[in-house]
Amino acid sequence: MSADEKAKAAGKNIEGKAQEAFGNLTGDPEHQAEGQAKQAEAKARNVKEDVKDKAKDIVDRA
């Protein structure tokens, strides 16, 4: 995984956790949902990068 993409995913996850926590604290379901969506996006970015890394490993071995 590129360091840049890994950092972006980590930042998005932290942002999502903070927004969800804010929503929990204030009782705002919209912020809760947006925070959870950002965390899901971060997870998807990590999965995408993992797939790219595995594909690169396969190509490198061939």
CB of 38 closer than 8 Å to CB of 12: yes
Q: What do you get for the CA distance between the two ends of the chain, in Å?
A: 20
User: Rounded CA gap, 37 and 15, in Å?
Assistant: 10
The answer for 27, left when phi > 0, alpha when psi is -120 to 50, beta otherwise, is left
Identify the sign of the CA torsion 22, 23, 28, 34. positive
| 0.75 exceeded by pTM | yes
Q: What is the pLDDT along the chain (62 residues), one digit of tens a residue?
A: 578 988 999 999 999 999 999 999 999 999 999 999 999 999 999 999 999 989 999 999 98
3-class secondary-structure state, position 34: helix
